[in-house]
Structures are given as C-alpha cells and as structure tokens.
Structure 1
Amino acid sequence: MPVLAVVLGYVAWRARAAGRERWWLPSLATAALMAVVPALIVPLKELVARPGPPVTGPGTGFYPSGHTATAVIAYGGAALVLIPWLRRAGARRALLVGCLALNLGVAFGLVRRGYHWPLDVAASWCLCAVLLLSLRLLLGRNTSVGTGVGRDSRRRT
C-alpha cells in the first residue's frame, strides 16, 4: 500500500504539472480499485467458505487469497499508471519484471508458509487480471492518459 500511495501521488503531480485535463483520473481510479478489492474478496471468501491448509487450523475463508489480491492490485496498479511516464523501454520492462517478481514472491511466501493453497493464489490472480484490465480500459478512454497528447494528434505510421 505505501508503494501504491507514493506512485499515485507522483503520477498525479506529474500529470498536473504537465497540464493534463483530467490529471487526477489515473490516481483516483487506481485508488478506487484498491478500495474495491476487500469488497470483492470478503464476500467471495464467505460464499466459498473453503478451509485453509493444515497449518492454519480450523476455520474457513481462505479462497481467494486477499493478501495476493492486495499485492497484485497495489503493485500492478502502480505499474499501470507509472508506465506511461517512463520513456525508455528498458525502464518499462524493469518495472514490469519487478512487479511480477514482487507478486510471485508474495504468492510463493503465502503457499510456502502454509497460509494458502496454490489455488487460492491462482484465483486471486485471475480476479485481479480482470480488474487490472478493466482499469487499463478505463484509463485508455481518457485520450490524454499515457502519451500526453490526444489520439488525433499522434503521428500516424
């Protein structure tokens, strides 16, 4: 969450300084998506009521993994709004590789320590992939997000 907060503040500052019409949209949409995660995960946990691995003891509510969902949306959302501000392909690639590594680390740790079954983690990845794609589509409709220019003024090849 702290990483996401810093990135959202930075992106909003850069967009406002660049004179973007809706400079607040990427940061606000990503923060709203992060707020939606518990509203989706908690009811799913209650609905499925799946028991956890033996280490967790008795109880239900392990499917899907809320920790995984939080990490995927926080790191993935941060990467999604930060990518348009990175000019070099190497920097964008490094950001995506870092985001993937952090999320794989979270997933591995949760499964390795016995807090979740692998399917719990996979379910969160699938759900969050849909959420991040929805965020990308929403941000893509705002023509000034990403390149700083409208679609009509881009060079055509």
Structure 2
Amino acid sequence: MVIDERVVDWVDEIRSPAATAAFEAATHLADYWVATAVVVVVAAALIRRRHRVAAGALAASSFGAMAVTELLKVAIGRERPPVETHLVEAAGFAFPSGHSSQAVACYGGLALVTFLTTRRRVARAVAVGVAIAIALAVGVSRVYLRVHWPTDVLVGWVVGLAWLALVALAVRSRYRRSSATMKSELSRNGRMSQVDSSSSIERPAASTSARNSSKP
C-alpha cells in the first residue's frame, strides 16, 4: 500500500542509534514468552488472593488475542517487509501485527484487572496510562524495526482492543448475574425471616389464649 511505503520511508529518514536501541527494548515487551510470563505470574497472584474472575479475564484477554491474531495471519497471508531490511528477527505472516494486538490485550488486560480489584482512581488511571504507552511503543517499534507495515500495526491494535472489549463485557455480564442472584437470595431470606418472626409472635399469643380459655 502507498501509505505503508510512505510511512516506512519517513521512518528511515529519522532513524538513529539511540532510537533503535529504545525500540528494540520496547518491542520485547510484547514478545509471546514475555506476555505469557506476565499473565501466568499475575494470574497466579490473583488466584491466591481469591480474585479468580480477574485472573480468568486476564488470561482470556491475552491468550484469546494470540489465537485470534494467528488465525487472521494464516487466513490473510500477508508478507512482511523485505527480510534484508529487518532490524530484529521476525517470522511468519505480517497482518495483523501479533505484537501490537498482544500489547493491547495483555497490558490492557492488566488495566482491566486493576478496575476489578481496586476502587482507587489513581491506580486505575496509572494502569490505563501505562497500558496505552506500552501499546503505542510496541506498535511503533514494529514499524521502526522494519518487521511490519503500518497497517499491520493499526489492525493489530484494533484486534487487541476488540478482544479486550469482549472480555470486559463478559466479565460485566457475569458480575451482573451474580449481583442479581445475590439480591434474589437476600430478598428470599428476608421474606423467610419475616414469616418466622410472625410465627413466633402468633405462637405465644395462641398459647395465652388457650390458657385463658382453660381457666374456670
């Protein structure tokens, strides 16, 4: 695509050793083994603290995005930029960018976990800010390092965000069902308590009436 080539040409003009080193470091934040390690460690900690829904949401977001992205890569089969221009090793098809989708799904998933486990606004804002920063850094790094076209990255972000949104909606639906069930149980228990209280009042009254009627 023309827009891809123009963006890549512009990136070539501003390339520098310092920027190359920075983007090489940034791109590893969304390597599959790094993302997997992050998810496993955080999910284990969440389960230990009894935040099972949050742990499941994080795993579903990261691993689900991996699966969807790989399926799209195989289905579309778009080639990467020429191998001789790559600044880091990369294999497989290009579209969409797996690193870009994983950056959103994994670190966005961590932001979702923050919303599920704390009410502190500062913590939530920091989590969202960090997730956005990492997603942008990783996406830009894939183009800068010549292993993806810009449109690969854009669609990768969209895939990751869409999958994260689906996971968030599923979690929200689950919490709503749990809340409705809890309210129903509380309401039923309240009615049963009222019935028991009425029965306990009526029984002494009936006993008193019986004693009075038995007097000569």
Q: TM-score, normalised by structure 1?
A: 0.76
* Deviation of the 1:111 alpha carbon: 0.9
Residue 85, structure 1, aligned to residue 117, structure 2:
yes
Mapped partners of 1:60, 1:8: distance in 2:
29
Q: TM-score, normalised by structure 2?
A: 0.57
Residue 30, structure 1, aligned to residue 58, structure 2:
yes
Runs of 4+ residues deviating >4 angstroms: none
Higher helix share: 2
Q: Which runs of 5+ in 2 are unaligned?
A: 1-34, 184-216
Greater Rg over alpha carbons, structure: 2
One-letter amino acid of the counterpart of residue 28, structure 1: G
Residue 4, structure 1, aligned to residue 4, structure 2:
no
Mapped partners of 2:60, 2:116: distance in 1:
20
1:134 corresponding residue in structure 2? 166
Residues 60 and 10 of structure 1, relative CA distance in 2, 3 Å threshold:
closer
Residue 37 of structure 1 aligns to a residue in which SS? helix
1:20 corresponding residue in structure 2? none
Q: Deviations over 1:15-59 (max 9, x none)?
A: x2xxxxxx4233124313322333222221122221222324xx8
* Deviation of the 1:60 alpha carbon: 6.5
1:107 corresponding residue in structure 2? 139
* Deviation of the 1:135 alpha carbon: 0.6
Mapped partners of 2:76, 2:166: distance in 1:
24
Residues 94 and 116 of structure 1, relative CA distance in 2, 3 Å threshold:
same
Q: CA RMSD in A?
A: 2.6
Aligned length: 141
Residue 43, structure 1, aligned to residue 71, structure 2:
yes
Q: Which runs of 5+ in 1 are unaligned?
A: 17-22
* Deviation of the 1:100 alpha carbon: 0.6
One-letter amino acid of the counterpart of residue 85, structure 1: T
* Sequence identity (%): 30
* Deviation of the 1:134 alpha carbon: 0.7
- Contact 2:115 / 2:124 at 8 angstroms: preserved in 1? yes
Mapped partners of 2:66, 2:164: distance in 1:
15
